[in-house]
Amino acid sequence: MADLGFTPGDRIVITGAASGIGRCAAVRAAELGLAVEAWDLNLEGAESVAAEINDAGGRALARGVDVGDYPAIEQAMQAAHAEGRVRYLVNNAGPPSYLDMSFDEGVRLVLGSVRTATDAWLAGEPGASSEPGAVGAAMCATASVAGTMVGTGSNWYSAAKAGITGYVRHLAAYRTAEARYNAVAPGMVGTPRLAGFTASDLGQDILDRIPLGRVAEPDEIAWAVLFSLSPLASYLNGQVLVVDGGWSITQ
Ligand SMILES: NC(=O)c1ccc[n+]([C@@H]2O[C@H](COP(=O)([O-])OP(=O)(O)OC[C@H]3O[C@@H](n4cnc5c(N)ncnc54)[C@H](O)[C@@H]3O)[C@@H](O)[C@H]2O)c1
């Protein structure tokens, strides 16, 4: 197993941890020695990933949290900090772009939730460090190439994902006394929400333009997220890591 320099037992909250990228991030974080809080709308799914981690000798607990419910986020974060300082936050939960939502509703859910969770997390004083290679508080948000390069059909999805990158830059410029902040922008990732899409004409057309010729494994995104949080990335702040197999450079 890789050693990214995390301190064993440090605590991490991962939203949307029941499936896909969030689930992989939870499992890998636990393998790296972190104590995981797996948050998801789908409590049963979060409990299943927490059980998988605990059965493998790691440490995890599950919470049913809908990130569209701001008071629920604040309450859950207070409870999480009460169990011990939460050093890391992964703002990953979000609805698929094909959901039918109004612009305001979508931006509130995708972007407003990131702001609410981050504010609640920072209120617990996660413990920053600006020293080279030091363990220090860090947040990573899952953005998307839909917010950096590709125009998608859903107006709220592209706008909110782009908003996440702007919000991360704001935090990185003005709130570094409290933590480091980065985003990861995946291209196409083989998670349940993409099921069937790659077989469609549009999916095939996109695949043809990805130099690596395939979609990402969710683990390949999770590792980028965990690297950005780790002491190995102690000078990485305010960046958007595009992890898309080179799709963006072919546009
Ligand atoms: N799959 C891709 O191709 C892709 C590409 C770019 C960005 N992303 C982003 O990656 C993140 C994770 O997506 P994924 O592909 O792993 O999806 P996924 O559907 O496999 O998992 C998403 C998880 O988030 C949870 N979730 C959804 N809405 C929630 C809410 N309101 N509150 C709490 N939990 C909620 C779901 O229950 C699910 O467990 C999302 O933010 C998505 O926009 C995915």
Could you tell me if residue 3 is inside a domain?
no
* E-strand stretches of the chain: 11-15, 35-40, 59-64, 86-91, 138-142, 180-186, 240-243
233 in a structural domain: yes
Ligand 1, CB cutoff 6 Å, lining residues = 15-16, 18-22, 40-42, 45, 65-68, 92-95, 142, 144, 186, 188-189, 191-194, 218
Do residues 113 and 65 make contact, with C-beta atoms less than 8 angstroms apart?
no
What gap in Å lies between CA 141 and CA 143, rounded to an integer? 6
- Asked if residue 141 belongs to a domain, the reply is yes
207 located within any domain: yes
* 54 in a structural domain: yes
- Which ligand 1 atom sits closest to the C-alpha of 97? 43
CA of 20 to the centre of ligand 1 (A): 7
Catalytic residues, by residue number, are 157
What's the number of domains the chain is made of?
1
The predicted structure's pLDDT at residue 123: 98
Averaged pLDDT score across all residues of the chain: 96
Q: What is the mean pLDDT of residues 182-194?
A: 93
Angle at alpha carbon of residue 88, lines to 135 and 10, rounded to 5°: 60
Does 149 reside within a domain?
Answer: yes
Contact call for residues 118 and 62 (beta carbons, < 8 A): no
**52, exposed or middle or buried, with CB in 10 Å at 0-12, 13-18, 19+?**
middle
pLDDT of residue 247: 95
Give domain status of residue 57, yes or no: yes
Please tell me the distance between residue 192's alpha carbon and the centre of ligand 1 in angstroms.
9
Which strands, in side-by-side order, build the sheet including 138-142?
59-64, 35-40, 11-15, 86-91, 138-142, 180-186, 240-243
pTM of the model: 0.98
SS3 state at 210: coil
pLDDT the model gives residue 51? 98
Q: Can you give the residue range of the structural domain that contains 78? A: 11-245
Q: Which of 149, 189, 217, 248 to mutate to test the pocket of ligand 1 (most atoms within 8 A of CB)?
A: 189
pLDDT band, residue 202 (cuts 50/70/90)? confident
Give the pair of three-digit tokens for residue 147. Answer: 């917010």
Does some domain include residue 5? no
CA 70–ligand 1 middle distance (angstroms): 18
In this structure, what CATH number is given to the domain that contains residue 213? 3.40.50.720
